[in-house]
């Protein structure tokens, strides 16, 4: 998907409080700015220092230092909570350089266990930040004190709270290590504050008396309480409760808060088979299981960092791709000899999979408005030995479709969307989506659907897909499109995907809770041969 909307910056972080004088519906806190002090003045992501710091502190826990800095970069620097961030020695060195510039010292290099802990802590602290901030605020006993807290100090507290509450680490070790980090990176007084707050948390946990809001009152009040307990924005909770019911909404939030499950697709374009990939995973001792719904896919619950560092992605053996995305390609059903266009192609996972299904016969045109992401797609297509069947087109689909005379056998519009089906993997996305974004996205989706329809041959196929589970982005967009384009009709997907993914309308839909994969949607539409019907109705 090439076009995206966010409520903050280029990345896709609300809190609620419960004290005797505070309600559960505090507004989202403003982005905090760095306060000038001896250690934090150096926080300038990407800025090189004239005099390189060489101070090494072996007493500070490296995974906590790296986690704190990465959380700062996510919240203040616009970085993504990238769960696939460790791609080699260069990346590890760059990570430590951020630590050095931000904290004023280096720690020892990350070991494998440290890398895993950083991934778990950063992803978890971002997912659970509403609950963590609710508890931190309660233990501060002062809303203003919480609001004015230094950004680094807040991140250290979030790390400590998450380690105690969700990772089940020994409390004494968590308190000791985070106090040390606060004292060294900030000042002794900050360490004393961390010590006092974390010890209060430990006491509350041991006595089973955490100050959680009660789910009671009207629908709005219950949604506010659930938003704290399960750490989601209130508007999402209310929306899902209305669409799914409270019980299913809670199941969905639990899924989003769990450890993300990843899947690998073997690169058949270079002659690899799933058996080849399985053998390599066994050699690496990475737990895995074959996908029950996609022949070229293997599920991995843990060990993805091992796969990355072993070079399986770099060498083109496989790609990280969820089965939900693979099932969308199944809906397209690419066949050798066909001409296909992927209308919002970058980063290119579906483009590459479709191209591999052509077996060297046919062509996939990949159009995208983002030139940089399109360049990455072209480089990856060479790595996968698919550059001979992929043509990259840098353009805005809406302008391109009006100017070109080309028509295609199959057109895939993997539309820009809210991403509400992939919140387990995109830890930060929930905090950077607003209800208003959906309204803007739906207008864009309608525009792109119309543009994509102009590229379909008579008798050809148009597939509209999203990684959302929201009916307004999915079924309602198709209903609107079909009302305006009577030359198109639904082509049921039951012959392309397993029956458990087929809706009563004949669409494809994956449900994270039901199917244990990302949530996604696809509608397969066939264009009539009768050209007299073509055109967009007002």
Which residue in 24, 343, 417, 467 is the catalytic one? 467
Instruction: Return the number of other C-beta atoms located less than 10 Å from residue 272's C-beta.
Output: 19
396 labelled as ligand-binding?
yes
DSSP state letter for 430:
G
Residue of 389, 284, 269 lying closest to 317 (CA atoms):
269
Q: Is 90 annotated as a binding residue?
A: no
176 annotated ligand binder: no
Q: Is the dihedral of CA 367, 372, 378, 381 positive or negative?
A: negative
Q: Positive or negative, the Cα torsion across 417, 254, 174, 135?
A: positive
Place of tokens 């380690």: 163
Task: Confirm or deny that 82 is annotated as ligand binding.
Answer: no
**Helices and strands, number each (H, E), in the chain:** 20, 12
Quote the CA–CA distance of 33 and 150 in Å, as a whole number: 8
Question: CA torsion 494→499→505→509, rounded to 10°?
Answer: -110
With 0-12 / 13-18 / 19 or more C-beta atoms within 10 angstroms meaning exposed / middle / buried, residue 282 is exposed
- For residue 247, the tally of other CB atoms under 10 A from its CB is 9
Would you say 125 is a known binding-site residue?
A: no
Q: Are 478 and 507 in contact (CB under 8 A)?
A: yes
Q: Is 348 annotated as a binding residue?
A: yes
Q: Is 249 a known ligand-binding residue?
A: no
Ligand-binding annotation for 349, yes or no, is yes
Could you give the strand order of the β-sheet that contains 262-266, starting from the edge strand earlier in sequence?
A: 289-290, 297-300, 262-266, 318-320
Residue 343 bears catalytic tag: no
346 annotated among ligand-binding-site residues: yes
- 345 appears as a binding residue in the annotation: yes
Q: Which runs of consecutive H residues, i.e. helices, occur in 366-434?
A: 371-383, 397-403
Instruction: Please tell me what DSSP assigns to residue 458.
Output: E
**Binding-site residue set:** 344-350, 368, 396, 414
**Binding-site residue set for S-adenosyl-L-methionine:** 344-350, 368, 396, 414
* Catalytic residue set: 467
């Amino acid at each position: 998907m090439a076009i995206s909307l966010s409520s903050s910056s280029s990345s896709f972080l609300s809190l609620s409080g419960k004290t005797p004088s505070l309600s559960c519906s505090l507004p989202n806190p403003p982005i905090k700015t760095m306060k000038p002090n001896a250690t934090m003045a150096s926080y300038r992501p990407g800025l090189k220092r004239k005099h390189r710091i060489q101070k090494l502190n072996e007493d500070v826990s490296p995974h906590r230092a790296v986690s704190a800095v990465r959380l700062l970069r996510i919240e203040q620097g616009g970085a993504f909570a990238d769960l696939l961030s460790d791609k080699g020695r260069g990346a590890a060195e760059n990570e430590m350089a951020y630590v050095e510039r931000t904290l004023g010292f280096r720690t020892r290099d990350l070991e494998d266990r440290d890398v895993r802990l950083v991934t778990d802590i950063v992803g978890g602290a971002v997912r659970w930040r509403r609950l963590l901030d609710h508890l931190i605020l309660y233990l501060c006993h002062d809303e203003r004190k919480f609001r004015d807290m230094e950004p680094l100090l807040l991140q250290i507290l979030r790390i400590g709270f998450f380690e105690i509450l969700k990772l089940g680490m020994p409390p004494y070790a968590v308190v000791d290590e985070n106090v040390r980090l606060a004292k060294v990176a900030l000042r002794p007084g900050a360490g004393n504050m961390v010590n006092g707050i974390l010890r209060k948390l430990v006491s509350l946990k041991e006595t089973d008396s955490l100050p959680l809001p009660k789910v009671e009152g009207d629908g709005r009040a219950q949604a506010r309480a659930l938003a704290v307990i399960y750490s989601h924005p209130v508007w999402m909770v209310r929306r899902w409760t209305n669409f799914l019911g409270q019980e299913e909404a809670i199941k969905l939030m639990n899924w989003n808060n769990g450890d993300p499950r990843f899947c690998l697709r073997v690169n058949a374009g270079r002659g690899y088979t799933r058996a080849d990939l399985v053998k390599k995973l066994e050699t690496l001792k990475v737990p895995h299981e074959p996908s029950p719904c996609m022949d070229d896919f293997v599920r991995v619950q843990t060990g993805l960092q091992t796969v990355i560092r072993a070079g399986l992605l770099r060498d083109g053996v496989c790609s990280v791709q969820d089965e939900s995305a693979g099932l969308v390609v199944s809906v397209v059903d690419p066949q050798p000899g066909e001409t296909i266009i992927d209308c919002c192609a970058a980063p290119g996972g579906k483009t590459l999979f479709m191209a591999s299904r052509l077996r060297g016969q046919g062509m996939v045109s990949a159009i995208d408005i983002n030139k940089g992401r399109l360049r990455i797609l072209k480089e990856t297509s060479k790595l996968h030995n698919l550059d001979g069947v992929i043509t990259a087109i840098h353009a805005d689909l809406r302008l391109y479709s009006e100017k070109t005379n080309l028509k295609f056998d199959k057109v895939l519009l993997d539309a820009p969307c809210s991403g509400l089906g992939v919140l387990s993997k995109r830890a930060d996305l929930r905090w950077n989506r607003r209800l208003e974004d959906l309204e803007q996205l739906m207008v864009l989706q309608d525009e792109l659907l119309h543009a994509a329809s102009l590229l379909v041959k008579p008798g050809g196929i148009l597939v509209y897909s999203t990684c959302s589970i929201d009916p307004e982005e999915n079924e309602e967009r198709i209903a609107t499109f079909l009302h305006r384009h009577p030359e198109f009709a639904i082509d049921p997907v039951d012959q392309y995907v397993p029956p458990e993914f087929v809706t009563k309308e004949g669409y494809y839909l994956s449900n994270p809770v039901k199917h244990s994969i990302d949530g996604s949607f696809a509608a397969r539409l066939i264009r009539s041969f009768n050209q007299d019907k073509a055109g967009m109705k007002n």
